[in-house]
Each structure stands twice: as structure tokens, then as C-alpha cells.
Chains A and B, each alone.
Chain A
């Protein structure tokens, strides 16, 4: 495949960057007058844990769609990540490395 032109790559980066920054910045401005609202405070309190779960489900789903034949590897590596994290005193480094290493090995060896 021929390498895409540089202007195209730079334009894509500029557009994507502008959209990303706007999505991050505008809500802060919009929420400013609502800071004192009880609802906004409670949403801030309740959101983090659930939002993380939603990210997990979303990324997991993308991976299953991208590699439908490797669901067993995804399941096994997820289990390794969870078990290592819960049994090895919640050391993020170890759990992420173990899960990813397991996945890379399973995908490339079998």
C-alpha cells in the first residue's frame, strides 16, 4: 500500500486533535455554573466506577469483533489479569504485564 500524503496525515491529526480538546474543555465551561448543584455533585461521585466498567466492556467488545476466532485467548488472558490482580496484592504492573504477555503468547504461538 502506498504511503498516504503528508498533508493528509497532518490534516487528520489537526482535526482529531481539535475535536478531542474541544470535548475535554467545553464541558468544564458548561458545568461551571452548576458546580453547586447536588445532582452534578452526585454524578461526579457515582460516575467513576461505572464509567470504568463501561470502558472495559467496550474495549473487550472491540477486541472480540476484531478477532472473533480468538475469544478463548481473550477469555483466558482476561482471567489471568483478574486472578493475578486479586491474588498478587493488586499490583497493577504485574497484572497488566501478565495478562498482556499471556495474550501475545497465545495469539502468536497458536
Chain B
């Protein structure tokens, strides 16, 4: 695994100051994607004829990037509250799957842990699920998440200000979200060990789009999970010495894979 350019090889035992610094460095990589996206959100809010304060209010009240962008168009068209609730549920349902691999056990109980769960956006998940848990401390994770929210809120305010000053709208900033996910996938796919997961995910998504185009994301995630369960059963039946050789001892499993699958944040 490549070390962060500036991030020290912080471990869970490093002093608190070091952890906070590591958290800030962690957030920079995804911040590059989040900040422009925040600007896009702010611009969308103003261009849709909604009050500027909606941008920061969304980023605090519903902290979830892609849904916030969608909420702007729903709110602008005065969609019924029930429609909004169902849409948010369907789009954010994938967060249910993050609990499997987000290192929440590294975050201190109480307020830090509550915040960490509240702020578990895609980017926070991608950053910390791929890092070896034993190198993570509470302060690092929470600092990273706080920074990510700050980029998002700040970007929204900047975007709203820009849009208020612009004579005409500029389109296409939503591409930043897509580009961010492309980059994260490329980095996660760096190791050969991640290939089966990616192939199964591609398969699940293809089937979901063909069979249930209206809820492809949700069905794709469910199918992907089902395929991984099958994979688990198959590899277990074929003996733990085969393809699961590296997953023999549970203690080293996560760190092993996290290292092998590459870290997103050091890109």
C-alpha cells in the first residue's frame, strides 16, 4: 500500500494531533470531488428558484450527496412529501450495506460514534472501509468525516453565491460525482483480489437494469449481496485452503484485504 503523500503512517497508537492530521489528509482526496459537487448543489438550488439557505440546510439535515442533488429537483417541482420519503429510502438504502465493512468499532462511543454514523456518506465509507482498521483511530475517522461535511457545506454556499451572480446557468457539474466514483473504483480494482467482487457486481447490475430498470440500484445491491453469499458458501464447501487461503484466520482477514485491495484515499 502506498502511504499518503503527506499523511504520516499513523497507527491507532499515534498521538491525537497526528490522528487529526491524518484525518484531514484522508479527506483531501475525496474533498476534491465533494467540494465541486457542493458547488454544483448550490448552483442547482439557486437555478431551480429555491432559497439559497436550502443548500447548507440540506447538507446538515440530509447529509447524503447524491440524494441532496436529487432533492433539489424534487423540491423545485413541489413533489409530495411521500414521494420524497420513498425516493430517499430507495436511493439511500445502499447505506444499509455499509455497516458490514465500515470500521465503526474504531470510533469512540458516545457523540463521536453518533456523528460517525450520521455522517456515513459514500465517500467516508469508501475512504475508511478500505484502510486497515488497526491503523485507524477515532479522532482520525471523525476528523475525516467532519472535513468532508465542511467541504460539502462550504461548496454549497460558494455555488449558491456563484449562481446568484451568473447571468446564465452552467451545466454539467454533476459529472464530478460520477468521476469521483470512477476514480474510487479504479483504485479499489487495483489488486487482483478485488476482481471477483467487481465481476459479480457488474453481473448483478446488468441483470438488475434489464429486469427492473425502475429500481436498478436497489435490486442490483440485493443481487450483489446474494451472489457474495453464494460465493461464501461455494468457497467454504471447496475447503478453506483453496481460494480463501488468505481468509483463514479472521484476525488478519480485514487488514490483509484492505491492503491488497488498495486504499482509495491515497490516490
Interface residue SS majority, chain B: helix
Flag whether B211 is at the interface (Cβ < 8 A). no
Tell me which residues across on chain B come within 8 A of A50, comparing CB atoms: 197-198, 200-201, 204, 224, 228
Flag whether B10 is at the interface (Cβ < 8 A). no
Interface residue SS majority, chain A: helix
- Contact assessment for B179 and A57 in the assembled complex, using a CB-CB cutoff below 8 Å: no
B75 to chain A, nearest CB (A): 6
Within 8 A of A (CB), among B70-87: 71, 74-76, 78, 81, 84-85
A4–B72 CA distance with the chains assembled, in angstroms: 12
> Are A57 and B76 CB-contacts (below 8 A) given A13-B58, A45-B247?
no
Closest to B250 in A: A41
Chain B residues within CB distance 8 Å of chain A: 29-30, 32-33, 36, 49-51, 54, 57-58, 61-64, 66-67, 71, 74-76, 78, 81, 84-85, 88-89, 92-101, 104, 117-118, 120, 122, 125-126, 129-130, 170-189, 194, 196-198, 200-202, 204-205, 209, 216-217, 220-221, 224-225, 228-229, 231-232, 236, 247, 250, 253-254, 257, 261, 267
Chain A residues within CB distance 8 Å of chain B: 1, 3-4, 6, 8-17, 19-21, 23-28, 30-31, 38-61, 63, 74, 77-78, 81-82, 85-86, 90-93, 95-97, 99-100, 103-104, 106-108
